[in-house]
Structure 1
Amino acid sequence: MDNCIARQPIIGKDGKIAAYELLYFQNSQTVDSPHDFHTAQAIVQFFNQLDESSFLDGRDAFLSFTPNLLMQNIPRVFDPHKLVIQVEDSVLVHPVARMMLQRYKKQGYRLSLSGFQFNSRYMNILSLIDILKINFDGISQKKLDTYLSVAKEFNLKLAAYHIDTPEARALAESNHFDYLQGTSVADIAQSKAQKNPKHLQSNFFRLMAAATREEPDLEEIAELIGMDVTLTFSLLKMVNSAYFAIPNRVKDIKQALTILGLGQLRQWIYLLSFGGEGDFTDEIIKISFQRAVFCQALSQEIPDFPLAYSEAYMLGMFSILDRLLDVTLEEALKSLPVSDELKNGLVKKEGMCGSLYRLTIAYEQGEWPRVTRIAQELNLSMETISRKYLEAVDYVTSTWNSLMEPFDGAAQTDENENKE
Structure 2
Amino acid sequence: MEIYVARQPIFDRESKVYGYELLYRNSETNAFDPSVSDEQATSELLINSYFSFGMEKLIGKGRAFINFNKSLLTQEMPLLLDPRKVVVELLETIEPDEALYEVLIKLKQHHYTLALDDFCVDYKYPRLVHMVDIIKVDFMQNTKQEIRDIYNTMRQSGKVLLAEKIESQEVYEWARDMGFDYFQGYFFSRPSLMKSHAVKYISPQDIAILKEMSAKDPDFKKIALIIEREPITAYKLLKLVNANFTKSYQISSILQALALLGVDTLRKWFTLIMVHKLAKDQPKELIKVSMQRAKFFELLGEKNEFLREKSHDKQAYPLKDKNEMMLVGVLSTMDVILGKPMEEVVKELPLSSNIISTLLMEKESPYLEDYKALLAYEKGDFDKKEVHELAEYDLPEIYFQAVEWSEKMIILS
User: TM-score band, normalised by the shorter chain?
Assistant: 0.3 to 0.5
More contact order relative to length (CA 8 Å, sep ≥ 6)? 1
Taking structure 1 as the reference length, what is the TM-score of the superposition? Answer: 0.40
Name which one, 1 or 2, has greater alpha-carbon Rg.
Answer: 2
Taking structure 2 as the reference length, what is the TM-score of the superposition? Answer: 0.41
